[in-house]
């Protein structure tokens, strides 16, 4: 769908653009700024769901809208980028998601908006009224609490879902006014928190988008962000903190034991669930450890137990603890959740900041709270509180995508099996939940596991840079993707690998020949 630019009646002038409306919201201000000779592009491995997009020089109109929900004293910002160069607008909208504690309109989200307009889309993103800049939530105390013990639930609601609805309604209204006709298609692209946003849109606002690409989605946010503290809690209770070298050794031992089960020696587990490596098989094994001044140390029982629990989701000596969300697979970096720092022969736990910041602000509701020597009983209380308190606010409501199915929407997710931040099994948990209610789920929702891929893009595994274009073909041409081609980032020797990712539950099977050729893999 090609256009020749904006309606001849309108230009990039706030005075000439009718004010859009959103039920329950009031527009505070609308500004329009013409950006000329702008270089829009998508660098390689910088924009989840998308591949490299070469530089395009274009003009676009940046419409910035501040709005509030009367009675809440919030100030939500949305930006809508409208291509204005002749023929550059393709008649489609691309909503852009956030990441971590950032809802949108920050840093790499602007790369995503760049990529969208480079391909002719109008782009929209929103900050949800959140003006902090730490994706790990270190500065979220500026908005999370009204006072000690009192969460700003309106701000959290904006962050979790409401701003997604608002920005989309605003964008569609503006686009119709500006170009003189309604959109032909609308898409959303996001990863991590942005992936969670995609699922929110599919479940809570199914009418808004025709297609959603949502990778590594943090959909069980209210559960994962306390359960992610389990390894630190376990080490604290034992007062034993394994050296990083121990966890690295266990990780590499599992990879070495199971690497060639798929017929290819590449350091990647094509199917982590097929690995049967037993962590206790290396207990007390001597290794050379950098954190011990390159002296020899032994693999400790605590390190073994952490690996076993991560790989199986079960700690025999703590049988009363049942993880609500699945843990990672055999190819996950064990140090992510069980991080430690060693000095002068003494090691202490170092938690990934994302998890304790959620616990601090939204569970303890005290900006000065620290985990310290959290008792098992208190940890269990925090875990259950987060799960129950925030289910309806930021969690998944249920396993029903019926509304999205009925409107003809399509949802594609890829998830790296080496993702340490959001376990890939959590995505499978949701997919299987939907599948249990609807055997035709593959008609509108497909999941692709990416062996060896980390969170969104990193790791040794291949990255499916064809995801978004596959989504567009599914929506507009009815071509349902059975597989995605994927290519890894270059390694230290500037070598890459090519792999085929299959729509779950199918898996890529190596058929022989050059493992780096896409034709050497089939989905079975």
- In order of 29, 86, 160, 402, the CA distances from 177 in angstroms are 17, 17, 28, 31
Strands of 181-331, DSSP E: 185-191, 211-215, 286-289, 295-298
Q: What is the mean pLDDT of residues 147-167?
A: 97
Percent of the chain residues past pLDDT 70, beyond the cut: 96
335 DSSP β-pair partners: none
For residue 10, pLDDT over 80 is answered with no
Spatial CA neighbour of 455 closest among 494, 426, 481:
426
Listed in sequence order, the residues at least 6 apart from 7 whose beta carbon sits closer than 8 Å to its beta carbon are: 177, 178, 179, 180
Q: What is the mean pLDDT of residues 451-465?
A: 94
Residue 317's pLDDT is: 55
Which burial class, exposed, middle or buried, applies to 139 when counting CB atoms under 10 A from its CB (0-12, 13-18, 19+)?
Answer: middle
Q: Which of 192, 352, 386, 483 is catalytic?
A: 192
Strands of 417-478, DSSP E: 445-450
Highest mean pLDDT among 7-11, 72-76, 290-294: 72-76
Residue 8's pLDDT is: 38
Distance (Å, whole) CA 393 – CA 161: 8
Spatial CA neighbour of 217 closest among 428, 440, 389, 400:
428
- The answer to whether 412 touches 213, Cβ cutoff 8 Å, is yes
Distance (Å, whole) CA 57 – CA 4: 16
Distance (Å, whole) CA 94 – CA 468: 11
Spatial CA neighbour of 461 closest among 362, 320, 331:
331
For residue 19, pLDDT over 90 is answered with yes
Residue 9's pLDDT is: 39
Distance (Å, whole) CA 427 – CA 404: 18
Spatial CA neighbour of 33 closest among 87, 67, 96, 81:
81
Banded model confidence at residue 3, pLDDT cuts 50, 70, 90:
very low
Banded model confidence at residue 366, pLDDT cuts 50, 70, 90:
very high
Distance (Å, whole) CA 287 – CA 303: 13
23-58: per-residue pLDDT in tens?
999 999 999 999 999 999 999 999 999 999 999 999
Distance (Å, whole) CA 193 – CA 188: 13
> What φ, ψ does residue 336 adopt, rounded to 5°?
-65, -50
DSSP element (H, E) containing 237: helix 230-238
- In order of 178, 267, 282, 329, the CA distances from 277 in angstroms are 60, 15, 10, 11
Stated pTM of the model? 0.95
Percent of the chain residues past pLDDT 90, beyond the cut: 87
Distance (Å, whole) CA 337 – CA 312: 15
Residue 324's pLDDT is: 63
> What φ, ψ does residue 211 adopt, rounded to 5°?
-140, 140
Distance (Å, whole) CA 308 – CA 305: 5
For residue 273, pLDDT over 60 is answered with yes
Spatial CA neighbour of 42 closest among 102, 115, 110, 95:
115
DSSP element (H, E) containing 209: none
Q: Coil, helix or strand for 65?
A: strand
305-330: per-residue pLDDT in tens?
999 999 987 765 555 555 666 788 89
216-242: per-residue pLDDT in tens?
999 999 999 998 999 999 999 999 999
Q: Which of 125, 455, 483, 488 is catalytic?
A: 455
Banded model confidence at residue 1, pLDDT cuts 50, 70, 90:
very low
Banded model confidence at residue 492, pLDDT cuts 50, 70, 90:
confident
Please state, rounded to an integer, the average pLDDT across all residues of the chain: 93
Residue 26's pLDDT is: 97
Half-sphere exposure of 377 (CA within 13 A, CB side): 0
Quickly count: other Cβ atoms within 10 Å of residue 36's Cβ. 11
Q: Which of 419, 426, 483, 488 is catalytic?
A: 419
281-310: per-residue pLDDT in tens?
999 999 999 999 999 999 999 999 999 999
Residue 322's pLDDT is: 58
- The answer to whether 376 touches 238, Cβ cutoff 8 Å, is no
Asked if 419 is an active-site residue, the reply is yes
**Dihedral, 275, 279, 285, 290 alpha carbons, nearest 10:** 90
> What φ, ψ does residue 437 adopt, rounded to 5°?
-95, -20
Residue 5's pLDDT is: 47
Q: What is the DSSP letter of 291?
A: G
- CA 475 to chain CA centroid, nearest Å: 22
């Amino acid at each position: 769908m090609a256009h020749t630019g904006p309606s001849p009646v309108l230009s990039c002038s706030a005075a000439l653009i009718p004010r859009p409306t959103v039920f329950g919201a009031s527009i505070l201000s609308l500004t329009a700024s013409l950006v000329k000779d702008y270089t829009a592009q998508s660098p390689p491995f910088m924009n989840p769901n998308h591949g490299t997009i070469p530089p395009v020089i274009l003009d676009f109109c940046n419409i910035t809208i501040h709005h509030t929900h009367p009675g809440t004293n919030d100030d939500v910002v949305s930006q809508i980028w409208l291509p204005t160069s002749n023929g550059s607008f393709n008649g489609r909208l691309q909503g852009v998601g956030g990441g971590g504690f950032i809802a949108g309109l920050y840093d790499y989200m602007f790369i995503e908006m760049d990529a969208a307009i480079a391909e002719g889309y109008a782009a929209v993103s929103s900050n949800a009224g959140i003006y902090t800049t730490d994706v790990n939530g270190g500065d979220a105390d500026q908005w999370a609490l009204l006072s000690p013990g009192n969460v700003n639930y309106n701000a959290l609601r904006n962050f979790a879902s409401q701003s997604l609805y608002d920005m989309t309604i605003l964008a569609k209204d503006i686009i119709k006014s500006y170009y003189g006709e309604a959109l032909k298609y609308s898409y959303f692209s996001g990863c991590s928190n942005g992936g969670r946003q995609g699922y929110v849109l599919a479940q809570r606002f199914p009418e808004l988008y025709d297609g959603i690409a949502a990778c590594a989605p943090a959909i069980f946010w209210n559960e994962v962000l306390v359960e992610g503290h389990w390894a630190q809690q376990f080490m604290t209770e034992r007062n034993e903190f394994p050296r990083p070298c121990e966890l690295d050794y266990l990780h590499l031992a599992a990879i070495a034991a199971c690497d060639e089960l798929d017929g290819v020696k590449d350091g990647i587990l094509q199917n982590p669930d097929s690995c049967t490596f037993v962590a206790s098989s290396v207990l007390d094994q001597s290794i050379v450890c950098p954190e011990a001044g390159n002296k020899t140390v032994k693999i400790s029982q605590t390190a073994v137990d952490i690996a076993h629990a991560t790989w199986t989701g079960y700690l025999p000596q703590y049988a009363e603890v049942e993880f609500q969300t699945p843990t990672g697979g055999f190819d996950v970096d064990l140090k992510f959740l069980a991080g430690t720092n060693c000095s002068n022969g003494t090691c202490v736990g170092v938690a990934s900041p994302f998890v304790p910041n959620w616990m601090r602000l939204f569970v303890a509701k005290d900006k000065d709270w620290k985990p310290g020597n959290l008792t098992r009983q208190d940890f269990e209380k925090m875990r259950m509180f987060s799960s129950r308190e925030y289910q309806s606010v930021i969690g998944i409501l249920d396993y029903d995508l019926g509304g999205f199915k009925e409107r003809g929407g399509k949802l594609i997710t890829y998830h790296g099996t080496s993702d340490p931040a959001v376990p890939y099994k959590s995505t499978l948990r949701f997919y299987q939940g939907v599948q249990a209610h609807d055997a035709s789920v593959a008609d509108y929702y497909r999941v692709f596991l990416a062996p060896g891929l980390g969170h969104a893009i990193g790791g040794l595994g291949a990255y499916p840079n064809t995801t978004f274009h596959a989504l567009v073909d599914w929506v507009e041409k009815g071509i349902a993707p059975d597989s995605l081609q994927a290519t890894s980032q270059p390694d230290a020797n500037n070598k890459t690998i090519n792999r085929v990712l299959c729509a779950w539950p199918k898996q890529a099977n190596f058929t022989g020949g050059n493992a780096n050729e896409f034709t050497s893999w089939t989905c079975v």
